[in-house]
Amino acid sequence: MSTHPVPLYPSLPWALAPPAPRTPVPRSPDRLPARSRLLKEPPMASVSSGSLSVSPATERDWELVRSWCAEEGWNPGRSDAAAFFAQDPQGFFLGRVDGEPVSAISVVTYDEAYAFLGFYLVRPELRGLGHGLATWRAALAHAGDRSVGLDGVPEQQDNYRRSGFTTAYRTARYVGEVPATDAPAAGVVPAGQIDPAVLAAYDSACHHADRPRFLAAWLATPGHRALVRVVDGRPTGYGVVRPAQDEARVGPLFADTPGDAAVLLDALAGEARAFGSARIAVDMPESNPAAARLAEERGLEPTFETARMYTGPVRPVARERVYGVTTLELG
């Protein structure tokens, strides 16, 4: 969906300065061997790739992939594709046999140092034929020399490690119904009332690369509800909730303190109830132990876990602010 202009909020005396220029992430000496392993040892044994051809996918093509994700139980957002493609329209790939889609993968680039892999899928009845292998190889070339991140399910993590990925931490999806509260959400305002540059600066501290294109589209997508907490005239966190195949999905959920995160989570759950979803799902990283404590306090239960894995060095983030990752597909 196209980005709508976001009005400023001039009555707030913003104290949050844009982030200082960052030193480029150094390349480790073993970076190139890891990159070589990515292309030569993908996480699926090859039997035969047959007549498979891999080519970039369109946003319209991706509706089919979204349906595959739903069948896998991944609970995709209903309107995610527009923001995904806004970040890197060349980063989405389909494998086809005789013109029929059989496999998918995304390798979305953020800057010259970082890319993220997701949507790695082969139609169930066609697995074990090498289609995943061929799709993996073709798409990873799009990452170039960038470090690549992914969120891997447990049964594939050993395979990803053999492909050059290293585990950084685990992420658990918490699901449930947050109890409604009659108390007003203190200091919570719609994201549209915040200077976009200020919000982008906050987001950049919590992600491995600046992503203004994605962020603008994510906040403006119809159906997405984005909220910011403001304390003493500056943002202390923000979050987004969106309709999904099953439970509403919360992501990101970034906040300065557990208290800020709790206020935002309660408010986002209220927004989800307003569009008809009593239950929410949020992917919480173990790198911030306060996230799991918040989920448990609100009665959410862990359902499944993934591992965040990387092929090389990545820009550090403020881990203590990350209570919920944006998506498992784009990081």
pLDDT tens-digit profile, the chain (331 residues): 323 222 222 222 222 222 333 333 333 333 333 343 343 334 433 333 458 999 999 999 999 999 999 999 999 999 999 999 999 999 999 999 999 999 999 999 999 999 999 999 999 999 999 999 899 999 999 999 999 999 999 988 998 999 999 999 999 999 999 988 877 788 999 999 999 999 999 999 999 999 999 999 999 999 999 999 999 999 999 999 999 999 999 999 999 999 999 999 999 999 999 999 999 999 999 999 999 999 999 999 999 999 999 999 999 999 999 999 999 999 9
- Tokens 């493609």: give the residue: 85
- Residue of 325, 195, 319, 184 lying closest to 249 (CA atoms): 325
Q: What is the DSSP string of 119-143?
A: EEEE-GGGTTSSHHHHHHHHHHGGG
Start and end residues for every CATH 3.40.630.30 domain found in the chain:
31-169
Q: Which ranges of 51-104 would DSSP assign to H, the alpha helix? A: 62-71, 81-87
Start and end residues for every CATH 3.40.630.90 domain found in the chain:
172-324
Element (H, E) at 158: helix 157-162
Looking at 3.30.9.10, 3.40.50.300, 3.30.2130.30, 3.40.630.30, the CATH number of the domain 31-169 comes to 3.40.630.30
As beta bridge partners, residue 108 has 116
Model-level pTM?
0.84
Looking at 3.40.630.90, 3.40.30.10, 3.20.20.70, 3.30.2350.10, the CATH number of the domain 172-324 comes to 3.40.630.90
In the chain, the amino acid numbered 269 is A
